[in-house]
Amino acid sequence: MLAGPQVTINRPAWISSTGGGHRSSARSPHLQRRVTPSAIAAPPKHSTPPAKAEIFRSLEGWAADNVLPLLKPVEKCWQPQDFLPDPTLPAAEFADEVRLLRERTAELPDEYFVVLVGDMVTEDALPTYETMLNRTDGIRDETGSSPSPWAVWNRAWTAEENRHGDLLRTFLYLSGRVDMVMVERTVQYLIGAGMVKLRHSPYSPSFSAPFGPNQHACLEQH
């Protein structure tokens, strides 16, 4: 047996202490901090050398032929509703499905919900990620609907990830184990704060975004 240091995880403000999904009026200190423009670091001054941006743009044909076909058609994707109580059922049957979900989650340790909320909050900042990805040099989606295959991929990646957040949000809400108001405030702060773009180069984000769905695809198969 491995002996490691004892780790104490404090109960986050958004974990219901009773498992009953109460709405806490207490405000977490970190949520009271207001994010102002002056509190955000200045953007880096460097940019991608023109030659590197041009190389990236020259790969658009390759990306259209080899990357975009990897996108799974929407009709073949699972949707959040596939894993959630069916609201089209008669009220009593829907209530039964919700009750079963709550019974299944009632005994899960708080740590599970810490992870799930962290995942959900991360997914909910997708507007920030898409904006950042499609502003990099070599993509520069000025309209928000650029036909550049890199921009198309990033939008599809965003839509893919959005389903994960939708499923997590509804699952957590129905479980009654999480203070959703605190979670929603956190998401509102997060999206409102934006994200400093550390690099203008399209290379790193454009090759990490494709691996995101691949990771999820692996997870979904297990």
Q: Measured from the CB of residue 219, what is the shortest distance to Fe ion in angstroms?
A: 9
* Size of the residue set binding Fe ion (CB under 5 A): 2
- Taking the least distance from each CB to Fe ion, the nearer of 194 and 212 is 212
Q: Measured from the CB of residue 76, what is the shortest distance to Fe ion in angstroms?
A: 18
Based on the shown chain and the rule CB under 5 A, indicate whether residue 179 belongs to the binding site for Fe ion: no
Q: Please, which contacts does 203-206 make with residues 24 or more away whose CB atoms are closer than 8 Å?
A: 203/52, 203/56, 205/132, 205/133, 205/136, 206/56, 206/133, 206/136, 206/138, 206/139, 206/150, 206/153, 206/154
In a 3-state reduction of DSSP, which class is residue 219? helix
- Taking the least distance from each CB to Fe ion, the nearer of 82 and 93 is 82
Q: Measured from the CB of residue 147, what is the shortest distance to Fe ion in angstroms?
A: 25
- Taking the least distance from each CB to Fe ion, the nearer of 124 and 161 is 161
Write out the H or E segment, with its range, that includes residue 52: helix 50-58
Q: Measured from the CB of residue 164, what is the shortest distance to Fe ion in angstroms?
A: 4
For residues 133-172, which are near Fe ion according to CB under 5 A?
Answer: 161, 164
Residue positions counted in the chain: 222
Q: Measured from the CB of residue 123, what is the shortest distance to Fe ion in angstroms?
A: 5
- Taking the least distance from each CB to Fe ion, the nearer of 159 and 193 is 159
- Rg, Å, the chain Cα set: 21
- Taking the least distance from each CB to Fe ion, the nearer of 164 and 169 is 164
CA 127 to chain centre: 9
Q: CA–CA distance from 130 to each of 63, 93, 159, 166, 195 (Å)?
A: 18, 39, 10, 17, 11
Contact residues toward Fe ion (CB under 5 A) are 161, 164
